[in-house]
Amino acid sequence: MRKFIFISPIIVFFCIIFIFLYLLITKSDPSELPSALINQKAPKFETLSLLSEKNFLYEKEFNHDLKIVNFFSSWCIPCSAEHKYIDLLSKEKGIKIIGINYKDDPKKALQWLDNLGNPYSDVAIDSNGDIAINWGVYGIPETFIVNYNNIIQYRLAGPITKKNYEAFYQQIIKNK
Amino acid sequence: MASTLGNSALWLSFLFSILQFIVSTKNINSIIIFNRIAVTGLLTSTLASFFLLMYCHVTSDFAVINVFQNSHTTKPLLYKISGVWGNHEGSMLLWMLVLSITNYFIFKLYSKNNSIFVSKTLQIQAVITIGFLLFILITSNPFERMSTIPSNGLGFNPILQDPALAIHPPLLYIGYVGLSAVFSLSIATMNLENDEGTPWYIYMKPFVVAAWTFLTAGIALGSIWAYYELGWGGWWFWDPVENAALMPWLLSTALLHSLITVERKKSLQAWVLLLAILAFLLSVIGTFLVRSGILTSVHTFALDPTRGIYILIFIGLLGSYSLILFALKSKNFLGKNYFSFFSREGSILVNNLIMVIVCGSVFFGTTYPLIVEIFTSNRISVGEPYFNATVIPMIIPAILVMGIGPLLSWSKVDSKKTLKQILPSILLTIIIIIIFFLSYRTYNIPGLVGIGLASWIISNVLVTLFLNIRKESKKNNFAISSFLKHFNSMIIAHLGVGLLIIGITGSSVWQEEKISRMKVNDEKMISNYNVVFKEINEVAGPNYLALRGSFWIYNQNNKIITVLTPENRIYPITKNTTSEVSIHTNLLRDLYIVLGDGDNDNGWVVRIYHNPLVVWIWIGVLIIVIGGLSALKNNLNILRLRNL
């Protein structure tokens, strides 16, 4: 009995550590935030297109293909780092990507696309961040997978990186 | 340039901490010179890297990612400086700085009689230092640079631009890190099985007192920030981050008191050694919970799973080593001094157990949502109702015991004499409750209990003070011995607790809240005050724009008392909005107004609070901290006398 009292702290401690370890492993990617919008219709918006300087044609862009919606900005450093993966998905995998230019100067955004290349089928201007609020965006970059029926299937908060690119691509295949 | 230097200084600290680990394993007196080199080298290089990071922030060197993400050229200088520790990487560097200062103080304990003991302690401290340095270097290096240099930074969360918050983390870290010294001393004591006969508790005491005092002040400043800056009308929200600081505080409170028992009666030694380990482990577990992202909280820092894994491994190693050591060695520290339940040490033990149980239930409440999520994948939130229902009923007996404890004598108690001594407090408490009941006609049981407890504590403090003075005047020639002084710091701290209870009771039981949409010239009654919304204007601050409302407050006699001007601020750089609370304080109540959203046509959402007695919380904590500081001074004196 007495012995048990002295061993009990270490036993309790191990239990706690194992619970934490389990939680860390199962929740290993905190950027996979559950979104209230998963399995919901993609929120509509009306705005201008960065590329054509005319109205952004929502119905045309959100057609019956699988598409990816990427929130980005020229002042966002992780967006620049992420750009090559967006490029890869667009140019090599042939996936339709819609850009949403978040709180940016259109001139700088165009310059940014000139420098890095344009992977987007079209880019919607979100100058005051309203679209981002409707889509429940936490911070940029943030990327959504939207299916043929315009239902949001998956959300990635934070940049696509070398580490999560493969997993993200699998999500696209799954929803195709 | 500065960032490269800072990074090298950080690596230099790493080398010094390894040197400290190696030289401390040798128990030879001549090695002390190497130990001196290691300890001062560690301190100097950590200081250098900390101030180099500060230099980067002050000069807005945006090539450093940490500066880019957290600073901006328009930020006021004070917040550029406090911005150094307002983010994850910088705060870890601050932690490291406090750790190496504490390390230096442990080194200063060296004397002829305790060299083995201090060496062993420094060795454990070196392990902790290496652990944290590797964490910083591998997962959170504040000096990391990027290739492109942006023209300006991403700014700084405006809600963190507050003087209370600027000094809140350093104080908390002094507390946490002070507990690391307590941990190392405990491990060293168990390891050496006390060969030298070192009075380890005398060395441990100042660190515990310092850690406890700074934790108290740090937690209070966090609360002050929440109250004045968040604008939610309250000062404690049972947020995981608050709990992470509260848990080590509860254990160090227990530790502080049981150490007195060890000092006086040599009993409870094994218990104290265990508490010392647990208090520090809980500080690190708190850090883990906050920084790993497994708990979501308003305070959560940048999420990164590798950080969580790293801290967990570190906690796992530290915890298993120390607790296995405890399981093996603690029987050597079991006292044969049994004591009666009804004695000073009995009351201390009861309160110790209550503190540990409260700490356990806070821990359970904080992690319970996580456990539920594992089994049911539901997300639940355990909030105020749980904590109020579990913590308050346990704290009440603790406060009753706390009142009587200082009047009991050690070992054996003459119960008749004690009863005679506490009789005045019992009467006084009953009288105050009755007066209170009659004058306010309140049937609010929690309120009456709170007021009763506060008067119980305060009247017992007065009785203790009276008895002490009488004892002193009897043996006049002794003057004031250092022990009596030490006794007085207890009286001060307990008085502070009494006042704190008044404030907590008043502000939580009798808070009044009025939320409404108000247009200009609308009026609202709260308590006995009439609040008139006079006007709303646009004003510009140094790095924000604001809408400022003017509220004129009239009392019952229609006399104007004050004009409150809450603001709604917009920070154009981060596009953040914050609301600036406006508060009118006197000793009896706070009037607290928050301006919300709205426009001139539909009116503005205005929240008005009448918070009774809030100021006594801050006064109480201030007095507790003064008590703690005075105890610290006495303990350092005892230590100095011993080492001479």
CATH code, A113: 3.40.30.10
**Residue B597 pLDDT greater than 90, yes or no:** no
Query: In this structure, are strands B545-554 and B560-564 parallel, antiparallel, or unpaired?
Result: antiparallel
pLDDT at residue number B548: 93
A14 and A38 share one domain: no
* B147, closest residue in chain A (CA to CA): A77
pLDDT at residue number A97: 92
pLDDT at residue number B353: 95
Give me the mean pLDDT over the B198-215 stretch: 93
Q: Does A31 touch chain B (CB under 8 A)?
A: yes
Give me the mean pLDDT over the A119-138 stretch: 84
Q: Lowest-pLDDT range, A142-151, B293-302, B493-502?
A: B293-302
From the list B392, B391, B368, the residue with the least C-alpha distance to B379 is B368
**Residue A29 pLDDT greater than 50, yes or no:** no
Interface with chain A: mutation pick from B149, B284, B303, B577, highest number of A CBs within 10 Å:
B303
Q: For residues B7 and B469, what is the distance between their CA atoms, to the nearest angstrom?
A: 57
Tell which wins on pLDDT, B182 or B465.
B182
CB-based contact B589:B612 (threshold 8 Å): yes
Integer CA distances (angstroms), B467 to B408, B432, B503, in order: 12, 22, 27
CB-based contact A139:A113 (threshold 8 Å): no
pLDDT digits (tens, 9 = 90+) for B153-195: 776 566 667 787 788 889 999 999 999 999 999 999 998 876 6
Question: Structurally, how many domains does chain A consist of?
Answer: 2
A18 and A41 share one domain: no
The two three-digit tokens of residue B587, written as one number: 């000793």
A23 and A103 share one domain: no
Helix (H, G, I), strand (E, B) or coil at B542: coil
Q: For residues A148 and A142, what is the distance between their CA atoms, to the nearest angstrom?
A: 20
Which A residues 70-99 touch B at CB under 8 Å?
Answer: 75, 77, 80
Strand partners, B551: B533, B564
A144 and A159 share one domain: yes
Interface with chain B: mutation pick from A3, A18, A24, highest number of B CBs within 10 Å:
A24
Q: Give the alpha-carbon dihedral of B128, B316, A29, A117, to 10 degrees.
A: 30
Q: For residues B323 and B588, what is the distance between their CA atoms, to the nearest angstrom?
A: 48
pLDDT at residue number B602: 86
From the list B624, B400, B395, B618, the residue with the least C-alpha distance to B503 is B618
Helical axes B445-474 vs B482-509, angle rounded to 10°:
170
A21 and A60 share one domain: no
Could you state, in order of their start, the residue ranges of all structural domains in chain B? 1-147, 162-392, 414-505+618-622, 512-612
pLDDT digits (tens, 9 = 90+) for B468-516: 777 766 665 555 554 555 458 899 999 999 999 999 999 988 888 888 8
Percent of all residues in chain B with a pLDDT value above 90, rounded to a whole number: 48
**Residue B350 pLDDT greater than 80, yes or no:** yes
**Residue A28 pLDDT greater than 50, yes or no:** no
Residue B439: burial class (beta carbons within 10 Å; 0-12, 13-18, 19+):
exposed
The highest-confidence range among A85-89, A139-143, B499-503, B535-539, by mean pLDDT, is B499-503
Q: For residues B186 and B306, what is the distance between their CA atoms, to the nearest angstrom?
A: 30
Strand partners, A154: A145
pLDDT at residue number B301: 47
A45 and A87 share one domain: yes
Q: What are phi and psi of B563, to 5 degrees?
A: -115, 120
Q: For residues B48 and B41, what is the distance between their CA atoms, to the nearest angstrom?
A: 10
Give the burial string for B76-89 (b: 16+ CB within 10 Å, else e).
eeebbebbbbbbbb
pLDDT at residue number B300: 45
Band (B644; pLDDT cuts 50, 70, 90): low
Interface with chain B: mutation pick from A12, A20, A25, A75, highest number of B CBs within 10 Å:
A20
What's the DSSP call for residue B231?
Answer: -
Put the strands of the sheet holding B589-599 in their side by side order: B512-518, B603-612, B589-599, B582-585
Q: Minimal Cα–Cα distance from B371 to chain A, Å?
A: 8
A23 and A39 share one domain: no
pLDDT digits (tens, 9 = 90+) for A43-90: 888 888 888 878 888 888 888 888 999 999 887 777 887 888 898 888
Give me the mean pLDDT over the B33-39 stretch: 90
A24 and A39 share one domain: no
**ipTM exceeding 0.90?**
no
pLDDT at residue number A64: 82
Which A residues 125-154 touch B at CB under 8 Å?
Answer: 129
With tokens 């309140």, the residue in question is B442
With tokens 């008043």, the residue in question is B506
Band (B254; pLDDT cuts 50, 70, 90): very high
Q: For chain B, percent helix, then strand, then coil, each to nearest 5?
A: 65, 10, 20
pLDDT at residue number B299: 46
Look at A19 and B278 and tell me if their CB atoms are within 8 Å. Answer: no
Q: Does A19 touch chain B (CB under 8 A)?
A: yes
Cis peptide before B150 (omega within 30 of 0): no
pLDDT at residue number B63: 87
- Residue span of the structural domain in which A11 resides: 1-30
Give me the mean pLDDT over the B3-15 stretch: 95
Q: Minimal Cα–Cα distance from B322 to chain A, Å?
A: 9
Look at A24 and B331 and tell me if their CB atoms are within 8 Å. Answer: no
A97 and A75 share one domain: yes
Give me the mean pLDDT over the B55-84 stretch: 87
Q: Lowest-pLDDT range, A16-20, A22-26, A170-174, B105-109?
A: A22-26
A142 and A65 share one domain: yes
pLDDT at residue number A33: 52
Residue B409: burial class (beta carbons within 10 Å; 0-12, 13-18, 19+):
exposed
A102 and A122 share one domain: yes
With tokens 């809408």, the residue in question is B547
Give me the mean pLDDT over the B562-585 stretch: 85
Contacts of A53 (CB under 8 A, 6+ apart): none
Tell which wins on pLDDT, B378 or B599.
B599
CB < 8 Å to B309, chain A: 24
From the list B236, B239, B85, the residue with the least C-alpha distance to B621 is B236
Q: Minimal Cα–Cα distance from B317 to chain A, Å?
A: 10
Give me the mean pLDDT over the A109-126 stretch: 88
Per the prediction, chain B carries an average pLDDT of 87
Band (B378; pLDDT cuts 50, 70, 90): low
**Residue A34 pLDDT greater than 80, yes or no:** no
Residue A134 burial (CB count, 10 A): 14
**Residue B615 pLDDT greater than 90, yes or no:** yes
pLDDT digits (tens, 9 = 90+) for B401-428: 999 888 888 877 778 888 888 888 899 9
Give me the mean pLDDT over the B259-274 stretch: 89
Residue B130 is inside which H or E element, if any?
Answer: helix B115-139
* B292, closest residue in chain A (CA to CA): A24
pLDDT at residue number B417: 83
